[in-house]
């Protein structure tokens, strides 16, 4: 009778700023398992950016990437990246890229959990665009949006101080609104409101 969203979230005890590692270092990183419906976005926003900026370093972490993936000399690959290494991966590049699955992007208001994880680690994020994104992060202030290769090139060329400010504001937003504890409180409130609306007596939350 009543449908309401409960979005993804992050545990800030597991995803938090970590010491950068040389093998993950880059100007732009991307963490994600290969997916055919994300490939066009990865090529447009990372591969073509790497071709435009041959003196910069780009890093991809993930699995199932095919041999025919369009690698270049300045794109480095981390084949196996266990979850415990994700914070260090996010913290080792100036920027990290988010590319949304096609179905999620078309529907909108479907943030990937990886988006919250990266921000909680203190990463500055460049993301593809989709309806509802501004409900979770403020574009230009807490996250950088990219529709084209030119947009990513411009982001990579930002000063360290500009990137650090975006990094800091994104982490603050996540800690304020997108933690697992916050979502639990939201769920408790939604259930309580639904019971009140239905006129049923409230029971103590378990």
Q: What pLDDT score was predicted for residue 79?
A: 87
Q: Is residue 63 part of a domain?
A: yes
Per-residue pLDDT tens over the stretch 40-68: 999 999 999 999 999 999 999 999 999 89
Q: What pLDDT score was predicted for residue 26?
A: 98
Q: What pLDDT score was predicted for residue 200?
A: 55
The CATH number assigned to the domain holding 172 equals 3.40.50.2000
Q: What pLDDT score was predicted for residue 205?
A: 47
Tokens of 9: 């979230």
Q: Is residue 14 part of a domain?
A: no
Query: Do residues 84 and 13 touch, judged by C-beta distance below 8 A?
Result: no
Q: Is residue 86 part of a domain?
A: yes
Full 3-state SS string of the chain = CCCCCCCCCECCCCCCCCCCCHHHCEEEEEECCCCHHHHHHHHHHHHHHHHHCCCCCEEEECCCCCCCCCCCCCEEEECCCCHHHHHHHHHCEEEEEECCCHHHHHHCCCCCHHHHHHHHCCCCEEECCCCCHHHCCCECCCEEECCCHHHHHHHHCCCHHHHHHHHHHHHHHHHHHCEHHHHHHHHHHHHHHHHHHHCCCCCCCC
Report how many domains make up the chain: 1
Full 3-state SS string of 11-48 = CCCCCCCCCCCHHHCEEEEEECCCCHHHHHHHHHHHHH
Q: Is residue 48 part of a domain?
A: yes
How long is the chain? 206
Q: Is residue 13 part of a domain?
A: no
Terminal alpha carbon distance of the chain: 23
Give the pTM: 0.92
Q: Is residue 37 part of a domain?
A: yes
Q: Is residue 17 part of a domain?
A: no
List of the chain residues with pLDDT < 50 = 202, 205-206
Q: Which domain holds residue 166?
A: 22-198
Q: How far is CA 56 from CA 59, 69, 95, 181, in A?
A: 10, 19, 12, 38
Q: Is residue 159 part of a domain?
A: yes
């Amino acid at each position: 009778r009543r449908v309401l969203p409960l979005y993804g979230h992050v545990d800030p005890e597991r995803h938090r700023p970590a010491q950068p590692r040389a093998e993950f270092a880059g100007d732009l990183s991307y963490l994600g398992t290969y997916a055919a419906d994300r490939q066009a976005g990865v090529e447009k926003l990372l591969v073509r950016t790497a071709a435009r900026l041959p003196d910069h370093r780009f890093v991809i972490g993930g699995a199932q990437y095919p041999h025919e993936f369009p690698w270049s000399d300045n794109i480095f690959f981390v084949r196996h990246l266990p979850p415990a290494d994700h914070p260090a991966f996010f913290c080792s590049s100036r920027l990290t890229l988010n590319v949304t699955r096609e179905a999620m992007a078309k529907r909108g208001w479907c943030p990937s959990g990886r988006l919250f994880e990266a921000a909680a680690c203190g990463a500055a994020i460049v993301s593809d665009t989709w309806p509802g994104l501004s409900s979770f992060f403020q574009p230009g202030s807490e996250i950088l949006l990219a529709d084209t290769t030119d947009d990513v090139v411009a982001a990579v060329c930002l000063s360290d101080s500009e990137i650090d400010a975006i990094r800091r504001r994104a982490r603050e937003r996540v800690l304020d609104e997108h933690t697992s504890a916050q979502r639990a409180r939201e769920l408790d409130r939604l259930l309580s409101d639904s019971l009140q609306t239905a006129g049923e007596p409230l029971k103590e939350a378990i």
